[in-house]
């Protein structure tokens, strides 16, 4: 964090030291063995508080006050009183008191049995906490008077124990409490075993975890004087709502494995709005609902009518908000049923901002005003994707999905106005990087910019048109680096697909180059992303191979549900034929490389084509049927991941037996002619090592050219020395089959 005058930065190092960096001076002061710190301001004075073990240090930033207290278990700063609220454990008792840092005076608020789950509400001058660990007692102290407030007699539910305070509503009137019931899970007479029952909605390990974390949520509302149950163990409060003097909760209900709800009719996914004072509840029309904190509206998408609707907690009215808008809302992928296009809420809570496929909409949740297209349809017309750079601001990020260019626009009354776009990637949230940072006291922004040929560096800008570099770190200049270009080609039953061609910096069009196909879902949108050189962790490291004279091609894959292998084959084979038309491609020296889902696709493709000289499959499944009926270490079945998750098989093994057989490479191992190197991690829980071992064993039985690297102590991706070793071996493998170098000794028969 920065100090108020922005002249210093305070942070914790990786080695538990508190560091204070004086900006402009270069001085860094360290305090060792600090486990937490907080920065507070009151008036013109700043305070820094930090803990070393249980010793609390409070220091005024001007250096005029310094306080040390032992046995402090927690602390807060009250900006209204300009004092610290402390909890200490002394002599077997808990003490809660005020500390005035200016005169170092201590005023006791509470002294007694163990106090837990402290929740100070400084706005409403209340302190809520629990005492009596066996039975639980709810306490409320008035922070203004320092005296306890009389609470109505609270009768706790039978057979339940008060566990903790979940939260307090923003108006300070309702306290949400968690209760627990002792676990019903019975140890089977000392025998280490589990009982499996096909009629249970949860598998044994999941049921054990559910039993151990049973939680019942109740609400205590001032003036009501009683506890009201608001959520069962199968529910949790996802958001707090409010209207007038009443508080509500948006409840999500799931009574089993969320991932299995798509096909297990015993599992119900539901959302409810519950009144905290009365406990009455209203079921929403769809399970996936969103709401602004402390707002009065619930927003949800109707997948049947393909419209957004709102629910008003004040009168129970449901309104169609987007009927008549013929747009495609920005979904979550073609194997997910969830549509989540919410950008943000306005401050009043009466409007929501939604993203469609290209443009940005302002939606009146009351339905009184028609939806407003803030970007005037400019995105859809020009096939540009607009997103807010900052919530509800007039700065927009813009991405061109065809050219892969990225940049910024300014939102005006007439529509978006271009500021800058180009073959760069500005590290923003939608691309998994840091967002921009605005200076506190100036109209200046810090952004990070990169391209395929330039590593990420920092720039200052005031107008998002011109950028002043403030860092100059370009390690790629010491390598034979790369260039990237987007290629499009026609695909059967599709308009076209895109892929990125990575060429060496010293590319010579008169030469013939070996080509490595590397794929995973869709990668072309990152054509301008800088890829750091390094070891291959499962995915091949593109700069590593390009610098050694290879071309790497990353084709997008467009999937048909139920046919993941065939979809990958269609994209890769059509891409191979399109790439073969370039005179600088050595058509006899093309290879495949995939990791995880891409590893499965490699295994599938080599059972269907002879067009590749070599293949690498890292952590890829080989038997769809055995994988479908397998379990993860967390006890979850993999069936939902195969049916409705990334694998996209669409239905069960028994309803689509032919598709499962078709997508089990092990059953067609006899058709393989491509030399293949497989890699498995001994501790891989996503794709167990036995998947690769099973495919290898089939290839070995059939006397196919196959090798397998088993890293016993690594998981789904490799790290450290394993990654270094793997990189060396796959380089030797490709060098042998694609460049003609001698076969490495480790590949020879032992």
**Per-residue pLDDT reduced to its tens digit, 229-270:** 999 999 999 999 999 889 999 999 999 999 899 899 999 999
Question: How is residue 382 written in tokens?
Answer: 């020009």
Q: Please, are residues 608 and 671 in contact by the beta-carbon 8 Å criterion?
A: yes
CB 98 within 8 A of CB 85: yes
Please give the residue that has the higher pLDDT: either 159 or 165.
165
Residue 589 binned pLDDT confidence (cut-offs 50, 70, 90): very high
pLDDT at 427 over 80: no
- State the Cα–Cα distance between residues 143 and 495, nearest whole angstrom: 68
Strands 513-518 and 585-595: parallel
Residue 177 has pLDDT above 90, yes or no: yes
Instruction: For residues 138-144, give the mean pLDDT.
Output: 88
Structural element, H or E, at residue 497: strand 494-504
Residue 358 predicted with pLDDT over 60: yes
Q: Which whole number is the average pLDDT over 70-91?
A: 89
Q: What is the pLDDT of residue 188?
A: 59
- What is the tens place of the pLDDT at every residue in 466-513? 999 999 999 998 888 999 999 999 998 788 999 999 999 999 999 999
Question: Does 186 score more than 70 pLDDT?
Answer: no
In the predicted model, what is the mean pLDDT of residues 404-419? 95
Percent of the chain scoring above 70 in pLDDT = 96
Cα(555)–Cα(598) distance, integer angstroms: 11
Helix (H, G, I), strand (E, B) or coil at 328: coil
Alpha-carbon span 310 to 339, nearest angstrom = 15
- Is the pLDDT at 277 greater than 90? The verdict is yes
Taking a C-beta distance cutoff of 8 angstroms, is the pair 608, 569 a contact?
yes
Say if residues 390 and 375 touch (Cβ distance below 8 Å): no
Q: Which residues are bridge partners to 131 per DSSP?
A: 137
Specify the pLDDT at position 331: 60
Angle between helical axes of 564-579 and 597-605 (0-180°, round to 10) = 70
Structure tokens at 541: 């490291």
CA distances from 663 to 260, 436, 597, 605, 688 (A): 21, 44, 12, 10, 17
Instruction: Give just the sign of the alpha carbon dihedral 407, 413, 415, 418.
Output: negative
3 state DSSP class of 524: helix
Mean pLDDT of the chain: 91
Residue with tokens 């610098």: 547
Buried residues in 581-596 as b, exposed as e (16+ CB within 10 A): eeeebbeebbbbbbbb
What pairing do the DSSP bridges indicate for beta strands 585-595 and 551-555? Answer: unpaired
Q: Which range among 70-74, 201-205, 390-394, 454-458 shows the weakest confidence by mean pLDDT?
A: 390-394
**Nearest alpha carbon to residue 647 among 539, 538, 565:** 565
Token pair 């910019």 is found at 449
Query: Is beta strand 72-78 parallel, antiparallel or unpaired with respect to 83-90?
Result: antiparallel
Q: What are φ and ψ of residue 429, in 5° steps? A: -60, -40
Q: What is the DSSP letter of 356?
A: B
SS3 track for 724-736: HHHHHHHHHHHHH
* Element housing 544 (H / E): helix 542-547
In this prediction, residue 332 carries a pLDDT of: 42
pLDDT band at 440 (very low <50, low <70, confident <90, very high): confident
For residues 372-400, give the mean pLDDT. 92
> Phi and psi dihedrals of 534, rounded to 5?
175, -170
If you average pLDDT over residues 431-436, what whole number do you get? 55
Residues of the chain with pLDDT > 90: what percent? 66
DSSP 347: T
Burial of 507 (0-12, 13-18, 19+ CB in 10 A): middle
Which position has the token pair 């093994």? 653
Q: Give the pLDDT band of residue 397 (cuts 50, 70, 90).
A: very high
Furthest C-alpha separation in the chain: 89
Residue 340 has pLDDT above 80, yes or no: no
- pLDDT band of residue 431 (cuts 50, 70, 90) is very low
Helix ranges (DSSP H) in 143-301: 204-212
Interacting residues of 20 by C-beta distance below 8 A, sequence separation 6+: 8, 9, 10, 28, 29
3-state class (DSSP) for residue 145: coil
Sheet holding 289-291, edge to edge: 289-291, 297-302, 307-312, 318-320
- Whole-angstrom Cα distance, residue 599 to residue 591? 13
- Residue 105 structure tokens: 């005076």
Angle at 505 between CA 503 and CA 507, to 5 degrees: 65
Residues near 38 by beta carbon (within 8 Å), at least 6 away in sequence? 48, 49, 50, 75, 77
Tokens 């009443």 belong to residue:
246
Helix (H) or strand (E) holding 172: none
Per-residue pLDDT at 187: 57
* 576 alpha-carbon distance from chain centroid: 34
| CB neighbour class for 108 (10 Å; exposed up to 12, middle 13-18, buried from 19) | exposed
Given pLDDT bands bounded at 50, 70 and 90, which one contains residue 153? low
Q: Are strands 372-373 and 137-142 parallel, antiparallel or unpaired?
A: unpaired
Helix (H) / strand (E) element for 468: namely strand 468-469
The stretch 281-301 carries a mean pLDDT of 94
Confidence label for 336 from pLDDT (cuts 50, 70 and 90): low
């Amino acid at each position: 964090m920065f100090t108020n005058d922005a002249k210093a930065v305070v942070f914790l190092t990786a080695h538990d030291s508190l560091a204070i960096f004086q900006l402009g001076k270069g001085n860094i002061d360290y305090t060792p063995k600090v486990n937490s710190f907080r920065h507070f301001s009151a008036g013109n004075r700043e305070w820094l508080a930090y803990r070393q073990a249980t010793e609390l240090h409070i220091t005024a930033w001007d250096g005029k006050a310094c306080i040390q207290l032992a046995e402090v278990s927690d602390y807060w700063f009250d900006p209204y009183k300009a004092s610290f609220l402390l909890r200490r454990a002394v002599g077997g008792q808990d003490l809660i008191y005020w500390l005035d840092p200016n005169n170092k005076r201590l005023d006791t608020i509470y002294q007694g049995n163990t106090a837990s789950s402290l929740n100070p509400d400084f706005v409403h001058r209340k302190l809520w906490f629990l005492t009596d660990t066996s039975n639980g007692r709810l306490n409320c102290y008035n922070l203004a008077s320092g005296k306890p407030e009389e609470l109505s007699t609270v009768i706790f539910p039978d057979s339940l124990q008060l566990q903790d305070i979940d939260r307090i509503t923003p108006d300070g009137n309702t306290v949400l409490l968690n209760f627990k019931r002792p676990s019903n899970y019975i140890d089977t007479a000392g025998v280490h075993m589990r009982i499996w029952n096909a009629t249970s909605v949860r598998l044994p390990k999941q049921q054990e975890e559910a039993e151990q974390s049973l939680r019942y949520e109740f609400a205590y509302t001032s003036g009501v004087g009683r506890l009201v149950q608001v959520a069962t163990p199968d529910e949790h409060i996802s958001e707090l709502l409010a209207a007038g003097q009443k508080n509500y909760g948006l409840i999500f209900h799931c009574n089993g494995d969320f991932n299995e709800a798509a096909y297990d009719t015993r599992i119900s996914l539901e959302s409810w709005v519950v009144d905290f004072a009365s406990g009455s509840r209203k079921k929403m029309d769809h399970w996936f609902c969103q709401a602004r904190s402390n707002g009065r509206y619930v927003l949800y998408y109707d997948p049947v009518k393909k419209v957004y609707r709102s629910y008003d907690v004040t009168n129970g009215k449901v309104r169609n908000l987007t009927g008549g808008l013929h747009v495609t809302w920005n979904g979550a992928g073609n194997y997910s049923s969830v549509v989540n296009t919410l950008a943000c809420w306005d401050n009043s809570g009466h409007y929501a901002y939604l993203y469609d496929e290209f443009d940005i909409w302002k939606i009146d949740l009351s339905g009184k005003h028609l939806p407003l297209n803030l970007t005037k349809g400019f995105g859809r017309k020009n096939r540009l994707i607009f997103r807010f750079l900052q919530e509800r601001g007039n700065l927009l990020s813009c991405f061109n999905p065809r050219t892969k260019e990225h940049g910024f626009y300014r939102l005006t009354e007439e529509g978006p106005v271009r500021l800058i776009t180009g073959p760069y990637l500005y590290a923003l949230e939608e691309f998994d990087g840091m967002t921009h940072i605005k200076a506190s006291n100036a109209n200046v922004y810090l952004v990070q910019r990169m391209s395929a040929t330039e590593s990420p560096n920092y720039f200052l800008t005031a107008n998002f048109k011109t950028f002043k570099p403030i860092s100059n770190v370009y390690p790629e200049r010491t390598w034979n680096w790369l260039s990237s270009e987007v290629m499009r080609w026609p695909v059967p039953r599709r308009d076209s697909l895109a892929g990125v061609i990575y060429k060496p910096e010293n590319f010579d069009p008169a030469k013939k180059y070996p080509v490595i196909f590397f794929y995973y879902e869709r990668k072309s949108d990152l054509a301008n992303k800088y890829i750091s050189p390094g070891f291959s962790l499962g995915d091949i490291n593109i700069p590593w191979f390009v610098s050694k004279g290879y071309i790497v091609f990353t084709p997008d894959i467009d999937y048909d549900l139920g046919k993941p292998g065939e979809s990958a084959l269609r994209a890769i084979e059509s891409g191979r034929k399109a790439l073969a038309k370039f005179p600088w491609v050595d058509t006899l020296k093309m290879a495949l490389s995939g990791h995880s889902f891409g590893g499965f696709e490699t295994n599938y493709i080599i059972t269907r084509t002879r067009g590749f000289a070599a293949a690498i499959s890292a952590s890829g499944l080989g038997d769809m049927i055995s994988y479908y009926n397998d379990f993860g270490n967390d006890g979850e079945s993999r069936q939902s991941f195969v049916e409705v998750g990334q694998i996209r098989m669409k239905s069960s093994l028994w309803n689509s037996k032919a598709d499962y057989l078709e997508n089990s490479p092990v059953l067609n191992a006899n058709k393989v002619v491509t030399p293949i190197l497989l890699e498995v991690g001994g501790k891989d829980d996503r794709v167990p090592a036995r998947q690769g071992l099973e495919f290898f064993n089939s290839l070995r039985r059939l006397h196919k050219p196959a090798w397998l690297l088993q890293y016993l102590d690594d998981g789904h991706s490799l790290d450290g020395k394993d990654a270094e070793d793997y990189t060396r071996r796959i380089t030797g493998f490709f060098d042998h089959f694609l460049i003609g170098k001698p076969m490495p000794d480790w590949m020879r028969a032992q």
